[in-house]
Amino acid sequence: MSVVPSTDSSRTPAEHAGRRHQVLVIGSGFGGLFTTKALDAPEVAVTMVARTGHHLFQPLLYQVATGILSEGVIAPATRDIIARQRNAQVLLGEVEEIDLVARTVTAGSVTGRTTYGYDSLVVAAGSTQSWFGNDQFAEFAPGMKTIDDALELRGRIYGAFELAELAAAAGRDEDARDLMTFVVVGAGPTGVEMAGQLIELSRRTLSNEFRHIDPSTARIVLLDAAQEVLGSFGDDLARRTRRDLEKLGVEIHLGAKVVDVDATGLEVEHHDGSRERIECSTKVWAAGVKANRLTRTLSEQTGAELDRAGRISTNPDLTLPGHPEVFVIGDMVSMEGLPGVAQGAIQTGRHAAGQILRRVRGEETGQAFEYFDKGSMATISRFRAVMKRGRIELTGVPAWVAWLAVHLFYIIGFKSQLSTLAHWAISFLGRDRAERTVTEQQVLARLALEYLGEDFLRSSLRTSRGEQVRLREQQD
Ligand SMILES: Cc1cc2nc3c(=O)[nH]c(=O)nc-3n(C[C@H](O)[C@H](O)[C@H](O)COP(=O)(O)OP(=O)(O)OC[C@H]3O[C@@H](n4cnc5c(N)ncnc54)[C@H](O)[C@@H]3O)c2cc1C
């Protein structure tokens, strides 16, 4: 794509050149995809540059991690989704530079770097996991932002049960107990959903499958530095969620800040300053996000402020100061009342697309974005969820049914919806999980489990008494 020279602001460069207005969209998440779809108009040509070839439905990542859904269901190919939209194309690339003066975006891929020009730019690169300045925790307490993260977690979770079985078979009950301790850090919706699923997995799905361990005795711990579970849902739903989780068997530690993490456990500091170590092989970090680092370059070039989470302040219409042709949307935006949720990205994306079309059509632009809150929901376990929309609060089965319907509605594509329904029936009406495959790469994912593997190997082959490790008799 050639670089488009910038001209006066009353006419778009495309109009000067007598060709279609070129829109470049960075990212294929909720923001990028819904912007592109809303730009299905003959006056514009849309190029979507994204780091992955798929559109990811992040709210269901925890179901991939716990074996309910396959990755394909929540991450369909972006080019398949927009195949019929003839004015749009998708190109793989990780954006490294944005030059607002030259109106260019440079992206890298395995084949090298490419520079694209644009008439309008929509930056929808989302957010990444935040370990609050302790990035060294990531190795042992991975987050859940990508398909790779979810598959790695699946490997760690199912791998931990396998290793626990081996340890118990060899008579190393203490190791087995640590391997069956799962700690979820962060008691927001993702942490709650993850903890609930770990309970269901251990108490229902795996309950009859092992001979040396009893998976239903697995310890599931949910930690948060805050004093509430699901604090953003209000006191009543927070209390109700905590009660439900505890009834299911989740151990909840609030006011507990994680201060250290290693291969075999983590350390928390309580409000009174005391410290406690929890031995556990599997940790899941569901505690925080920070905006994609592209906000930094945008801030440097425009003077727009960044907040503590790295999100950028935009004009009310989502453009950047001095750049009516550049929109920032979704998780990257810092705006009063705009939450970092899928609806925030979808609605900002549609607004940006609307503004671009108005500009191209010579209509008045600059209308402020207004977020319409459609409510929040989180599942606790099968048949149990909480939902809040304005003053309406739902719990239990009605909230769970609403959750199913909303998520099914937003999953892209009829095939994926059908497949999701089938998988949910298997997991929620039955006990099984259809997606438990774990490859060796996943079990030994990154270094953390390799370290654990070495420790495990050393202790299991420890023959201080010159004895061979013998399997215990199989339990009935
Ligand atoms: C585990 C989890 C559970 C969640 N649950 C819910 C929920 O239940 N309900 C809800 O409403 N919201 C939920 N969210 C939040 C919701 O998913 C986000 O708010 C939403 O995805 C934000 O959309 P976005 O388009 O801004 O960013 P994203 O959806 O993250 O998309 C960003 C896109 O940019 C691409 N990208 C990133 N960097 C670059 C680069 N340099 N170059 C090119 N491409 C790049 C990415 O690959 C991706 O395609 C959840 C999030 C997570 C992680």
Residue 186: CATH number of its domain: 3.50.50.100
Amino acid identity at 366: G
Q: Among 360, 383, 399, where does a domain finish?
A: 360
User: Ligand 1, closest atom to CA 407?
Assistant: 8
Could you tell me if residue 280 is inside a domain? yes
- Mean pLDDT, range 390-398, rounded to an integer: 93
What is the rounded distance in angstroms from the CA atom of residue 53 to the CA atom of residue 30?
Answer: 14
Nearest CA to ligand 1 atom 3: 59
Alpha helices in 119-222 (DSSP H): 147-169, 173-179, 189-200
Does 387 share its domain with 416? yes
Could you tell me if residue 231 is inside a domain? yes
What is the rounded distance in angstroms from the CA atom of residue 126 to the CA atom of residue 10?
Answer: 30
Do 265 and 277 touch, CB atoms closer than 8 A?
yes
Domain extent for 451 = 440-468
Q: How many domains does the chain have?
A: 3
What is the rounded distance in angstroms from the CA atom of residue 203 to the CA atom of residue 328?
Answer: 44
Is 474 a residue whose pLDDT tops 50?
Answer: no
Is 472 a residue whose pLDDT tops 50?
Answer: no
Could you tell me if residue 139 is inside a domain? yes
- Tokens 């087995």 -> residue: 176
Q: What is the pLDDT of residue 470?
A: 38
Q: What is the pLDDT of residue 2?
A: 43
Does 160 share its domain with 266? yes
Residue list, ligand 1 pocket, CB within 6 Å? 26-32, 49-52, 58-59, 61, 94-95, 124-126, 144-145, 189-190, 292, 294, 330-331, 340-345
Does 198 share its domain with 346? no
pLDDT band at residue 19 under the 50/70/90 scheme: confident
Do 71 and 416 touch, CB atoms closer than 8 A?
no
Do 232 and 254 touch, CB atoms closer than 8 A?
no
Does 166 share its domain with 261? yes
Q: What is the pLDDT of residues 226-259, one digit of tens each?
A: 999 999 899 999 999 999 999 999 999 999 999 9
Could you tell me if residue 60 is inside a domain? no
Do 139 and 447 touch, CB atoms closer than 8 A?
yes
Q: Among 334, 360, 386, where does a domain finish?
A: 360
The structure tokens listed for 211 are: 């001979």
Vertex 421, ends 416 and 424: CA angle to 5°?
Answer: 120
Q: What is the pLDDT of residue 438?
A: 84
- Mean pLDDT, range 430-437, rounded to an integer: 90
Could you tell me if residue 66 is inside a domain? no
- For residue 127, how far is its CA from the centre of ligand 1 (angstroms)? 6
What is the rounded distance in angstroms from the CA atom of residue 473 to the CA atom of residue 406?
Answer: 48
Q: What is the DSSP string of 135-159?
A: GGGGGTS---SSHHHHHHHHHHHHH
Q: What is the pLDDT of residue 141?
A: 95
More confident residue, 434 or 448: 434
What is the rounded distance in angstroms from the CA atom of residue 241 to the CA atom of residue 347?
Answer: 29
What is the rounded distance in angstroms from the CA atom of residue 205 to the CA atom of residue 430?
Answer: 9
Nearest CA to ligand 1 atom 50: 59
Nearest CA to ligand 1 atom 53: 145
- Catalytic site residue from 152, 165, 193, 435: 193
Residue of 28, 55, 151, 341 best suited for mutating to test ligand 1, as the one with most atoms within 8 Å of CB: 341
- For residue 85, how far is its CA from the centre of ligand 1 (angstroms)? 22
Does 250 share its domain with 171? yes
More confident residue, 112 or 114: 114
Range with the poorest average pLDDT among 126-135, 252-261, 371-380, 453-462 = 453-462
Q: What is the pLDDT of residue 35?
A: 98
More confident residue, 14 or 297: 297
Count each helix (H run) and each strand (E run) in the chain, helices first: 15, 23
pLDDT band at residue 466 under the 50/70/90 scheme: very low
User: At how many degrees (to 10) do helices 30-38 and 342-360 cross?
Assistant: 30
- For residue 57, how far is its CA from the centre of ligand 1 (angstroms)? 8
Do 14 and 22 touch, CB atoms closer than 8 A?
yes
- For residue 182, how far is its CA from the centre of ligand 1 (angstroms)? 25
Percentage above 70 pLDDT, the chain: 88
- Mean pLDDT, range 171-196, rounded to an integer: 97
User: Ligand 1, closest atom to CA 33?
Assistant: 25
- For residue 332, how far is its CA from the centre of ligand 1 (angstroms)? 10
- Tokens 């929620």 -> residue: 428
Q: Is the CA virtual torsion 191, 192, 195, 200 positive or negative?
A: negative
Does 116 share its domain with 139? no
β-bridge partners, 258: 268
pLDDT band at residue 464 under the 50/70/90 scheme: very low
- For residue 302, how far is its CA from the centre of ligand 1 (angstroms)? 24
Could you tell me if residue 62 is inside a domain? no
Does 173 share its domain with 122? no
Nearest CA to ligand 1 atom 30: 126
Does 279 share its domain with 213? yes
Is 442 a residue whose pLDDT tops 60?
Answer: no
Is 450 a residue whose pLDDT tops 70?
Answer: no
Nearest CA to ligand 1 atom 38: 125
The structure tokens listed for 135 are: 């990035």
Q: What is the pLDDT of residues 248-298, one digit of tens each?
A: 999 999 999 999 999 999 999 998 999 999 999 999 999 989 999 999 999
CATH code assigned at 22: 3.50.50.60
Residue 463: HSE in the Cβ half-sphere, 13 Å Cα cutoff? 6
Write out the E strands in 303-348.
312-313, 319-320, 323-328, 333-334
Residue 193 falls in the annotated catalytic set: yes
Does 321 share its domain with 345? yes
Could you tell me if residue 83 is inside a domain? no
Does 220 share its domain with 192? yes
Q: Is 38 left (phi over 0), alpha (psi -120 to 50) or beta?
A: alpha
Could you tell me if residue 29 is inside a domain? yes
CA quadruple 394, 400, 401, 406: dihedral, nearest 10? 90
Alpha helices in 201-252 (DSSP H): 235-248
β-bridge partners, 252: 222
Amino acid identity at 393: E
Largest interatomic CA distance in the chain: 85
Average pLDDT, the chain: 90
Is 399 a residue whose pLDDT tops 90?
Answer: yes
Residue of 54, 55, 58 best suited for mutating to test ligand 1, as the one with most atoms within 8 Å of CB: 58
pLDDT band at residue 79 under the 50/70/90 scheme: very high
- For residue 9, how far is its CA from the centre of ligand 1 (angstroms)? 32
Q: Which residues contact 277 (CB under 8 A, 6 or more apart)?
A: 265, 266, 267
- Mean pLDDT, range 143-171, rounded to an integer: 94
Does 231 share its domain with 274? yes
**Is 129 in a helix, a strand, or coil?**
strand
Does 178 share its domain with 305? no
Nearest CA to ligand 1 atom 7: 59
